[in-house]
């Protein structure tokens, strides 16, 4: 699987990278829908793992995120500046308005919005995937990265539902790509103690923090990515300070800023 953080060298390569990630979003959505089908109807109103959000908030956000990415795909295809969301306020209002719907309605919305996303992506020509688009944060990136951003929304928020899906269930290519991305994101984070991360199963290392590595955290790439992304408190990791193994990695690891 191609690393979605590596730039393709041609429109055809951009289209191929996008197609690979689009297939992954389809698989991820099917797993999410399976989880939703197993929930009791009342569970949609119960708390998620995100402060202040019920599971219904998470699901409404996932559906509206798919529609927002349709806007970016449309902009890439037509060469126009289509904003991801009309306004930040409308984004928040749509999530709040959709949060209290029955589970069956939420499930259908997640499924149908993903279909609209895939249908919009199918309209792009290879050269369209190289067009610049603007994230709601103001970050400009090439359109071929849109499917990977959708995949991250699906995988992270599936965990956030707090319904049995954990970082241990993430597809390995996703966990590896996010380990690399977040390792780069936190590589020189001011005020963060230095930590060497060793993903034994993937043969990868990353060093985060602004100073010398004070700690070494070793474990599966999924567990490390779970911690880097704030979806795990360090379970499954072994943490060392020099030659000293630390009993409770959750207490030893430093707090991380939001992954951005």
Q: Give me the domain span that covers residue 63.
A: 11-165
Q: Do 177 and 109 lie in a common domain?
A: no
Q: Do 119 and 147 lie in a common domain?
A: yes
Q: Do 75 and 188 lie in a common domain?
A: no
Q: What is the pLDDT of residue 223?
A: 97
Catalogue the E-assigned strands of the chain.
Answer: 132-134, 140-142, 194-199, 204-208, 213-219, 238-241, 244-245
* β partners of residue 245: 240
Q: Do 143 and 160 lie in a common domain?
A: yes
Q: What's the whole-model pTM score?
A: 0.94
| CA distance readout (Å), 39 to 36, 92, 107, 116, 205 | 5, 25, 11, 24, 38
Q: What is the pLDDT of residue 6?
A: 58
Q: Do 33 and 133 lie in a common domain?
A: yes
Got the DSSP string for 10-72? SHHHHHHHHHHHHHHHHHHHHHHHHHHHHS-GGGGGSB-SSTT-BHHHHHHHHHHHHHHHHHH
Q: Do 131 and 189 lie in a common domain?
A: no
Helices vs. strands in the chain: H and E counts, helices first: 8, 7
Question: How many CA atoms, within 13 angstroms, populate the side-chain half-sphere of residue 47?
Answer: 4
Q: Do 46 and 149 lie in a common domain?
A: yes
CB 134 within 8 A of CB 84: yes
Q: Do 150 and 238 lie in a common domain?
A: no
Query: What is the domain-level CATH number for residue 91?
Result: 1.20.120.450
Q: Do 234 and 107 lie in a common domain?
A: no
Q: Do 197 and 119 lie in a common domain?
A: no
In a domain, 84, yes or no: yes
In a domain, 116, yes or no: yes
Distance CA 31, CA 252 (A): 34
Distance CA 118, CA 121 (A): 5
* β partners of residue 198: 205, 218
Q: What is the pLDDT of residue 5?
A: 46
Q: What is the pLDDT of residue 4?
A: 46
Distance CA 169, CA 30 (A): 14
Q: Do 40 and 131 lie in a common domain?
A: yes
**Which residue, 159, 188, 189, is CA-closest to 174?**
159
In a domain, 229, yes or no: yes
Query: What is the domain-level CATH number for residue 200?
Result: 3.30.1050.20
Structure tokens, 116: 């609209």
Q: Do 198 and 246 lie in a common domain?
A: yes
- Collect the ranges in the chain with pLDDT lower than 50: 1-5
Distance CA 53, CA 181 (A): 26
Distance CA 233, CA 159 (A): 13
Tens-place pLDDT, residues 158-203: 999 999 999 999 999 999 999 999 999 999 888 899 999 999 999 9
Number of structural domains in the chain:
2
Question: What number of other Cβ atoms are within 10 A of residue 173's Cβ?
Answer: 16
In a domain, 1, yes or no: no
Domain boundary among 113, 145, 165: 165
CB 201 within 8 A of CB 225: no
In a domain, 122, yes or no: yes
């Amino acid at each position: 699987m191609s690393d979605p953080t590596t730039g393709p060298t041609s429109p055809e390569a951009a289209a191929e990278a996008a197609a690979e990630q689009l297939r992954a979003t389809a698989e991820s959505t099917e797993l999410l829908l399976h989880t939703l089908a197993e929930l009791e109807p009342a569970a949609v109103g119960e708390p998620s793992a995100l402060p202040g959000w019920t599971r219904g908030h998470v699901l409404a956000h996932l559906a509206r995120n798919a529609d927002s990415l349709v806007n970016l795909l449309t902009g890439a295809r037509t060469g126009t500046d289509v904003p991801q969301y009309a306004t930040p306020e409308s984004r928040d209002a749509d999530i709040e308005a959709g949060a209290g719907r029955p589970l069956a309605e939420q499930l259908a919305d997640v499924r149908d919005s993903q279909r609209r996303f895939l249908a919009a992506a199918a309209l792009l020509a290879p050269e369209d995937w190289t067009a610049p688009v603007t994230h709601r944060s103001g970050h400009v990136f090439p359109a071929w990265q849109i499917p990977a951003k959708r995949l991250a929304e699906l995988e992270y928020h599936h965990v956030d539902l707090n319904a049995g899906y954990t970082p241990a269930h993430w597809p390995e290519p996703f966990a590896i790509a996010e380990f690399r991305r977040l390792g780069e994101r936190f590589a020189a984070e001011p005020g963060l103690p230095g930590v060497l991360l060793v993903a034994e199963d993937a043969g990868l290392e990353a060093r985060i923090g602004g100073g010398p590595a004070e700690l070494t955290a070793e474990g599966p790439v999924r567990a490390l990515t779970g911690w880097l992304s704030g979806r795990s408190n360090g379970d499954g990791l072994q943490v060392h300070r020099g030659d000293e193994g630390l009993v409770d990695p959750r207490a030893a690891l430093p707090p991380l800023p939001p992954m951005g």
